[in-house]
Chains A and B, each alone.
Chain A
Amino acid sequence: MQRLDFESAVEKIEDKIERLKIASGQDKASTEEEIQKLEQKAAKILSNIYSKLTPWQITQVARHPQRPYTMDYIQNIFTEFMELHGDRCFSDDPAMLCGLAKFNGDPVVVMGQQKGRTIKEKVRYNFGMPHPEGFRKSLRIMELAERFSLPVFTFIDTPGAYPGVGAEERGQSEAIAANLMKMSGLRTPIISTVIGEGGSGGALAIGVADRVLMLEFATYSVISPEGCAAILWKDGTKGSLAANALKIDAASLLKSGVVDAVVPEPAGGAHRNPGDTFNNLKACLTEVFSEIKHTTVDKLVKNRYNKFRSLGLFTEE
């Protein structure tokens, strides 16, 4: 487990648990009780630490290298996943994972930005930053979902759309814009979950949904804290200040009305206990899906439009 700098209080206990687990080997019974006790203690300490995280600390959790990624959620919440590739124009963008799957037995469409864990994977998935081809692939699959009346589940985890020469030449902005427009009127249910980093337009491009969920220690922001700091504080290292000011944490997002529900994470974050995280999210998705699955498509689209239409605070006097 890669520990974050604010987790030092749990270091000794977690190390001891690790040692005991290795030492006990086959003879689990002898140490089982002690491990359980220590684990409870660790969970208590972690819950305490995690109940007071600053937005900048949450950003570190959301970016944790061992945090579950889109493919992990798809494999553990859905069954019979079949990946679909390509935008039919230029290439297949691995940073946007799309496919068909079953959710509690129902056929659905799933998609999300995919990050890599090893250096080789990180490069292959471009650190979860899609090119226009990725957004166009997701658009193509959403249109497919519409034609075959399949509900769409999206998983948001990206630092943002890739800022590169090729991405610009092939219309990064048009690709995102087209997704926003299509999703706002897509004639099938859409549920989005922010699972890690919800980075700006690249995140929203698969986030115009009937219900938007957010994991407890995920972030969702108009700009990365570092990017904001570089512009407004003229200092890219002031990310913690920008994270505070931008209010990018799940509780703030829920309050703003952008997010409909926050999905609790296990003590110490999703990466410490992916199994419980999958169970929590699956339960939430099941509930939210049952809320909207019988709504007529006309009403769904109308409500979705009104939901996004209503976001934004202004005066008029």
Chain B
Amino acid sequence: MGWFKNSFFSVEGKSVKVPQGLWVKCEHCAEIIYKKELERDLEVCPKCSYHFRLPAFERINMLFDKDTFEEFDPLVGPTDPLGFKDIKKYKDKIKSYQKKTGQKDALISGLGCINGRKVMTAVFDFAFMGGSMGAVVGEKITRVFERALDKRCGVITFTASGGARMQEGILSLMQMAKTAAAAGRLKEAGLPFISVLTDPTTGGVTASFAMLGDIIVAEPGALIGFAGPRVIAQTIKQTLPEGFQRAEYILEHGMIDMIVERKNMKESLGRLLEYLG
């Protein structure tokens, strides 16, 4: 239960999205929601069903059987290979996100049970630098695939990421090759890989392991794509089609297997593991 010590969480393991106040505003429909109600509804807007972005541990809490989750590699932390500096130093950004989230980087990995079935997992946290994939995220995901291979066990990943972490330069691009290669080994071994895409999953994360799942699931309304909608609109100089790059749109275009609401996620993943395990 090491993860309950995480400073981002109260003892009950509940998220603190807005530190003060009892009310939260839905980013999607602007509805003012009573926080207790939002928590009860698994952080889904009661009015428009918008699925709020979740801190990694909160998602783990929702999906894994009680007391079964065991974290891997909590000590793996970022470096600053380029001495990168834009308006701020990358080093300082890392520190401020670590303070904000109580995590070393944007990914939590581990082993747990979903409805009694053992599965390795990697869960992104969008709150840590937009869930960007640098060396830490790439290494931890790769280890998840390699451990799964070793233990003959399946993998479920939950992505929420803007893509590669450009502050780590070319080495962040290489995490795409590294994670895709590791996913390929799992595939070769005939072990199941379920990829769950949550809002948003774009760039170097979709263009690597996330789109390689044997089964690809998405949460409703999640933005999923290669390029971001702003870049596309700028390139083609046209307004984008309605619902473009949303989970429903890409389901229609054949890119994913299914959309699963958060309240049904645990049960659906359990059933998928039963079929593929």
Of residues 160 through 183 on chain A, the ones whose CB sits less than 8 Å from some CB of chain B are: 161-165, 167-174, 176-178, 180-183
Residue of B188, B208, B250 touching A177 (CB-CB under 8 A): B208
Among the 9-residue stretches A31-39, A261-269, A303-311, the one with 4 or more Cβ atoms under 8 Å from chain B is A303-311
Closest to A172 in B: B226
Per-position 1/0 for B203-225, Cβ under 8 A of A: 11011111110000000000001
A220 and B173 alpha carbons, distance in the complex (Å): 10
A178–B212 CB distance below 8 A: yes
Per-position 1/0 for B129-155, Cβ under 8 A of A: 000001110110010000000000000
- State whether the Cβ of A248 lies closer than 8 Å to any Cβ in chain B: yes
- State whether the Cβ of A284 lies closer than 8 Å to any Cβ in chain B: no
A247–B210 CB distance below 8 A: no
Report the count of interface residues on B (CB-CB < 8 A). Answer: 66
- State whether the Cβ of B240 lies closer than 8 Å to any Cβ in chain A: yes
- State whether the Cβ of B120 lies closer than 8 Å to any Cβ in chain A: no
- State whether the Cβ of A5 lies closer than 8 Å to any Cβ in chain B: no
Of residues 43 through 60 on chain A, the ones whose CB sits less than 8 Å from some CB of chain B are: none
B210 neighbours in A (Cβ, 8 Å): 173, 177
B170–A180 CB distance below 8 A: no
A201 neighbours in B (Cβ, 8 Å): 173, 176, 203-204, 207, 226
Among the 9-residue stretches B19-27, B48-56, B82-90, the one with 4 or more Cβ atoms under 8 Å from chain A is B82-90
A242 and B85 alpha carbons, distance in the complex (Å): 9
- State whether the Cβ of B245 lies closer than 8 Å to any Cβ in chain A: yes
- State whether the Cβ of B241 lies closer than 8 Å to any Cβ in chain A: yes
- Given known A-B contacts A173-B211, A312-B139, A314-B78, A223 and B184 have beta carbons under 8 A apart: no
A186 to chain B, nearest CB (A): 10
B172 neighbours in A (Cβ, 8 Å): 222
Report the count of interface residues on A (CB-CB < 8 A). Answer: 58
B79–A316 CB distance below 8 A: no
B168 neighbours in A (Cβ, 8 Å): 222, 312-313
Residue of A171, A185, A316 touching B188 (CB-CB under 8 A): A185
B232–A168 CB distance below 8 A: yes
Of residues 257 through 278 on chain A, the ones whose CB sits less than 8 Å from some CB of chain B are: 258
- Given known A-B contacts A173-B225, A173-B226, A314-B76, A256 and B81 have beta carbons under 8 A apart: yes
A73 and B171 alpha carbons, distance in the complex (Å): 27
A143 and B146 alpha carbons, distance in the complex (Å): 25
A297 to chain B, nearest CB (A): 15
B84–A313 CB distance below 8 A: no
Closest to A169 in B: B253
- State whether the Cβ of B174 lies closer than 8 Å to any Cβ in chain A: yes
B87 neighbours in A (Cβ, 8 Å): 232-234
B206 neighbours in A (Cβ, 8 Å): 173-174, 177
- Given known A-B contacts A181-B187, A181-B212, A165 and B174 have beta carbons under 8 A apart: no
10 CB contacts below 8 A, A to B, read: A167-B226, A176-B176, A181-B181, A204-B177, A207-B177, A227-B231, A247-B82, A248-B169, A311-B171, A312-B168
Q: Which 8 pairs from chain A and chain B are nearest by CB?
A: A163-B227, A312-B135, A184-B181, A180-B180, A173-B206, A232-B86, A172-B226, A173-B226
